[in-house]
Structure 1
Amino acid sequence: AQQQGWPVCPSYGLTETASQVATLCPAPRHWQQGCVGLPLSHAEISICAQTGAIRVRGQSVAVHARREDGSRIELTDAQGWLTTGDAGWLDEKGQLHVTGRLDDMLITGGENIRPRLLEQELQRCPGMDEVAVSAVQDSVWGDALAVLYCGTASPDQLRGWAKQHLRGAFVPKRYLRTASLPRNAMGKLLRDEVARRVQTLVQKG
């Protein structure tokens, strides 16, 4: 979109906040993936120190929801903060950087791994077109990291690059090439399907 000169403005929001709460407008030429800019004037954003969860507070935030039986679900805490299921961080300018879903977290060798951040690193490997990080269960590592990717790089080339540029537990254990990554109609990566495909390919050896 940027190459075509379209006025793209990366944004972050969710249904419970009546959509947008942060927007980067205009996006810089060398946009950093995940950066969605400053909070809009009606919203405050903070990061939970314990979990890294993005929290939102403001007039557009829903304070409760209703179950089908009519019972009420409180969405905000006593200070009015809605804790989302998304992870992120705030830079020195106060801009929000979204790093993924909290429930996508992988734990390998005692290290917390956010797939999206590792994918950004692996994307730098020559011969890499698309990449998704998943895992298979392992008695030693817990989540043994597995890479499902599209590109001209061979698994051995990717393995060598990862060992040179990544550290310790962040180096994936398996590298699986595929024709395409599973995505929905909007182009969003289907991580559950990635995990299933990884399991199938590993089982086939």
Structure 2
Amino acid sequence: MDTIPAILRAAAEAYGDKPAYVDGDRTLSYADLVDRVRELARRYVGHGLAAGERVVVWGPNSIEWAIAALATTYAGATLVPANSRYTGHEVADLVDRTGATTVLLADGFLGRSQLEELRAASELPSVRVIGELSTLSLDHRGEERHVREATLAEVEARADAVSADDVADILFTSGTTGRPKGAMSAHLQSIGVARAWAELGGVSADDRYLVVNPFFHSFGYKIGILVGLITGCALYPVATFDIDETMRLIESERITLLPGAPTIYQSLLAAPGRSERDLSSLRLAVTGAAVVPVVLIERMRDELAIDHVVTAFGMTEAVVVTMCREGDSAETVATTCGRAIPGMETRIDASDGEAGELLVRGDYVMLGYLDDPAATAEAIDEDGWLHTGDVGVLDEHGNLRITDRLKDMYISGGFNVYPAEVEQTLMRMDGVQDVAVVGVPDERLGEVGKAFIVGTATADEVIAFAKERLANFKVPRSVETVDALPRNLSGKVLKTELRNT
């Protein structure tokens, strides 16, 4: 079962009436899910969707998002998720670059008219059909409507014809370092990485999974929707994150799984009403980013009392690369991202024990970037190693510790400074809730550190704290207090924005 239609059928057969999705007062069983997917796929085909064409899905987490995505691959097409916060111009760019023939959008999300934005941004020459996610209605564009009644037999034939090596999805990178690039993955890869993650996390049909990670992101789509199909767990999609509603759901629905970016857990720890909520059902929390504050892991274990807190490392181009295992020591979980998952391998482009660029290779590395062989060749070398742009070290057991991004390193007075090290130190300071450090120009030293903090600590206090614990060249020369750090929906700090302030 190495295609998405195959695992969907298997899930329906194995889990039947068991809840697949729960959203408010709506519950969709696995049997209902496959029926809804087949019906939408039938209408896709009737509106002219051909095998191999691309479908853009633009909206927040919802049951309908999952149906639209799964129906796309069931009909033999390729899914192109679009960031729910994108403007019409940004989505039009994805449509034009992928040549998508179908777009499904959540019109009215966050009080905007996505449909009007999209139409104003581009004539969308490749698009034949635009649909509304909330109703899964499809509207054929143009003066002549070429719509027919496709049969379920046609749809099943489409699903049967899907190959494990066909491109299942094109996920665009966050674009924090330039124009987003479309990472292409085959069915075999998307399913394989979801299966590996689920096995390492011990996910089962008894789990109730609060999916805060956006479906348009690999963590929400592959480590959410596809993990659900593989394990039979119940998914609770969250459209917009609200800390009080999240705590209410954990308590009332007895949520067991809560993977997410570090900011999710930081919000939980800081929530005023947390002591009044029963969050004891949580058994597994998986977090990851380029760098996770060590103190955050300690507090998740001690204050949230989550049974298993593990860290992992991944990226759009490989989804999940490393992950801690159940039984790993608290120190391993708190200070590393674990070791390579089955099917993947890692190495550091430096002498043994020294920090260098992380290279990864294996079954789940993307096929390549869409229509960009030069960028693909730059990212993946002749031996198949993906150059991540992250700096890290591997210990004697193969556990990975990410120290920073290559692009974030700056040179102060001839010394390399990795902001993540400074950030880890400052996160242990009382009065600092969140922090990001960037290099800024300096006439004498070339660059010096500037810290942006969320919290009550003063600039003088922050600098004094750093001086006690860090070499002088690592100590920030200036500190700015902000209400919140700019982050993308994956939780990564947008340091380019901070440098430009």
Into which bin does the TM-score normalised by the smaller protein fall?
Answer: 0.7 to 0.9
Q: How many residues are aligned here?
A: 194
Superposed CA offset, 1:41-96 (max 9, x none): 2111100018711011223334654526x778434333332222111110122101
Superposed CA offset, 1:12-40 (max 9, x none): 223333x222111236545425x211111
Structure 1 Cα separation of the partners of residues 394 and 356 of structure 2: 10
- Greater helix content: 2
Does the 8 Å CA contact 1:43/1:59 hold for their aligned counterparts? yes
Q: SS in structure 2 opposite 1:10?
A: strand
Structure 2 Cα separation of the partners of residues 184 and 5 of structure 1: 26
* Residue in structure 1 matched with residue 106 of structure 2 by the alignment: none
* Residue in structure 1 matched with residue 456 of structure 2 by the alignment: 152
Does the 8 Å CA contact 2:422/2:475 hold for their aligned counterparts? no
* Residue in structure 2 matched with residue 170 of structure 1 by the alignment: 474
Does the 8 Å CA contact 1:67/1:73 hold for their aligned counterparts? no
Structure 2 Cα separation of the partners of residues 93 and 189 of structure 1: 30
* Residue in structure 1 matched with residue 398 of structure 2 by the alignment: 94
Structure 1 Cα separation of the partners of residues 348 and 315 of structure 2: 16
When the two structures are superposed, what TM-score results if normalisation uses the length of structure 2? 0.36
Deviation at 1:178, TM superposition (A): 2.1
- Greater strand content: 1
Stretches of structure 2 lacking an aligned partner (at least 5 in a row): 1-264, 266-299
Instruction: Choose from 3, 11, 24 the match for 2:324.
Output: 24
* Residue in structure 2 matched with residue 44 of structure 1 by the alignment: 345
Instruction: Choose from 412, 415, 432 the match for 1:111.
Output: 415
Deviation at 1:138, TM superposition (A): 0.9
Instruction: Give the stretch that moved more between structures: 57-66 or 87-96.
Output: 57-66
Bigger CA radius of gyration: 2
Structure 1 Cα separation of the partners of residues 440 and 374 of structure 2: 39
Question: CA RMSD of the aligned region, Å?
Answer: 2.5
Structure 2 Cα separation of the partners of residues 78 and 58 of structure 1: 13
Structure 2 Cα separation of the partners of residues 20 and 73 of structure 1: 19
Structure 1 Cα separation of the partners of residues 449 and 375 of structure 2: 40
Superposed CA offset, 1:164-193 (max 9, x none): 221121111112222222223343322112
Stretches of structure 1 lacking an aligned partner (at least 5 in a row): 198-205
Q: SS in structure 2 opposite 1:92?
A: coil
Deviation at 1:131, TM superposition (A): 1.1
Q: Are residues 130 and 16 of structure 1, via their aligned partners in 2, closer, same or farther at CA, if it must alter by over 3 Å? A: closer
When the two structures are superposed, what TM-score results if normalisation uses the length of structure 1? 0.81
